[in-house]
Amino acid sequence: MTVDADVARRRIEELLRTNEEQILRRWTLITKATPEELTDLYQALNRALDSGGEDLADVRGLLAELSRSRARQGFTPSETSRAVFGLKEALYEVVEEDGGADALRGFIWFSRLIDDLGLFTFETYATAREKIILDQAEQLLELSTPVVKLWEGIVAVPLVGTLDSARTQVVMEKLLQTLVDTGAEHAVIDITGVPAVDTQVAQHLLKAVVAARLMGAECVISGIRPQIAHTIVTLGIEFGDIVTKASLADALAHALRRSGVQVSTPRGTRISVRTEDA
């Protein structure tokens, strides 16, 4: 870095420090950000410049936060990056007032820095948007949790993702309706993909099993994670005589046995009606 460039840069840093109030006010007016957000950003930038201007991690962190929240709130990408570019405009007024050659030259350097940060903002915005879209797709998928037929007379609901009380109720109603529609007498509720359950969700699962029984079908719950087992025990929820299996495969094997299917016998498979005993 040449001596001149260094001087120019110092001048800008000085202007930024001494005119903080004016620049911030102007910046807030130009952008749609809150004064708090901008003040944090402004001070992080000053700190970074003071310590040589190489370490912009804090600034980038704040900018990433700003872009993500903008993305969530539905701001456009240009609105979001304008929040950053606005600082150029706000500073330019001060530079103009100063009128010195150093300040003007320094402003060019500062512009480039802000442009880089603006692009970074744009990028994080795009990534955040993408993540939001993915999350929404996943939620949609969750809502349309399928009830699948595993075998003649055996259906399963593989539950994936966070279960809240409302979703559990919807899925369980769907399962019970499937029993009626398909005449399946065995159902597997597989919760391998469920990270945790609360009391209400656990209760809904249990009630579904009891309701299925009242309708004339048997439910097995499979894939209970250790953590969930722990929750259920500590919450004091009675699982009673409900059959639980470690995996979906174990549950299927159990349901097959119960429905009288004999796998790998010379006579092939035989299906008979379930009995009430054991």
- Output the CA torsion sign for 219, 225, 226, 228: negative
Backbone angles phi, psi at 51, to 5 degrees: -90, 35
Q: Looking at 8, 176, 189, 202, which residue binds other proteins (CB under 8 A)?
A: 176
Spell out the residues 6+ positions from residue 134 whose beta carbon is closer than 8 angstroms to its own.
Answer: none
At position 220, the amino acid (one-letter code) is: V
Q: Which stretch binds other proteins (CB under 8 A): 24-32, 90-98, 174-182, 192-200?
A: 174-182
Least separation, in Å, of the C-beta of 179 and other proteins? 6
For residues 98 and 218, which CB has a smaller minimum distance to other proteins in the complex? 218
The answer to whether residue 183 forms part of the interface with other proteins (CB under 8 A) is: yes
Least separation, in Å, of the C-beta of 242 and other proteins? 13
The answer to whether residue 276 forms part of the interface with other proteins (CB under 8 A) is: yes
Spell out the residues 6+ positions from residue 98 whose beta carbon is closer than 8 angstroms to its own.
Answer: 11, 15
What binding mask, one character per residue, do residues 133-172 give for other proteins by CB under 8 A, x or -? ---------------------------------x--x--x
Which run of H or of E encompasses 98? helix 77-98
Q: Which long-range contacts (CB under 8 A, 24 or more apart) does 126-131 make?
A: 126/77, 128/67, 128/68, 128/71, 128/72, 129/71, 129/77
Query: Of the candidates 117, 243, 103, which has an alpha carbon nearest to the alpha carbon of residue 187?
Result: 243
Least separation, in Å, of the C-beta of 273 and other proteins? 5
Least separation, in Å, of the C-beta of 251 and other proteins? 19
Least separation, in Å, of the C-beta of 240 and other proteins? 11
**Around Cβ 211, how many Cβ atoms within 10 Å?**
16
CB 212 within 8 A of CB 172: no
Q: Looking at 173, 193, 229, 257, which residue binds other proteins (CB under 8 A)?
A: 173
What binding mask, one character per residue, do residues 213-252 give for other proteins by CB under 8 A, x or -? xxxxx-----------------------------------
Query: Of the candidates 57, 83, 65, which has an alpha carbon nearest to the alpha carbon of residue 127?
Result: 65
C-alpha distances in Å from residue 146, one per residue of 32, 53, 181: 44, 54, 14
C-alpha distances in Å from residue 50, one per residue of 3, 43, 54, 154, 274: 17, 10, 10, 69, 79
Q: Looking at 133, 180, 196, 246, which residue binds other proteins (CB under 8 A)?
A: 180
Q: Which stretch binds other proteins (CB under 8 A): 55-63, 118-126, 135-143, 179-187?
A: 179-187
Q: Looking at 73, 144, 265, 272, which residue binds other proteins (CB under 8 A)?
A: 272
Q: Looking at 212, 219, 220, 261, which residue binds other proteins (CB under 8 A)?
A: 212
Q: Binding residues for other proteins, per CB under 8 A?
A: 166, 169, 172-173, 176-177, 179-180, 183, 185, 207-208, 210-217, 272-276
